[in-house]
Amino acid sequence: VGRSQHMLGEAADLSVPNEQVARDWFQWIVRNTNFDQLLFEHSSRLLNRWLHVSCRWDRKRNRHQAIYNYKVS
């Protein structure tokens, strides 16, 4: 995706083995980092789950947007 944060080197998707691990990491990131966006994403069709974490190069512009149950089709 042209201007996605992934393509700009501002985002990563972290694979997690289960929801408890996702919850633990989600809470740790919220409490301890200056992030732009944090999404716990999952696909029921593919049975995958991951955390999308981003941080803008200009950290003053980070939105601290955290969405725990972001469903991807």
Per-residue DSSP letters for 1-63?
A: -TT-TTTTT-EEEEE-SSHHHHHHHHHHHHHH---SEEEEEEETTTTEEEEEEE--SSGGG--
pLDDT of residue 42: 80
Instruction: Kindly give the confidence (pLDDT) of every residue in the chain, 73 residues in length, as a single tens digit, with 9 standing for 90 and above.
Output: 567 887 877 899 999 998 889 999 999 999 999 999 999 988 766 678 899 999 999 999 999 999 987 666 5
The pTM (predicted TM-score) of the whole model is 0.81
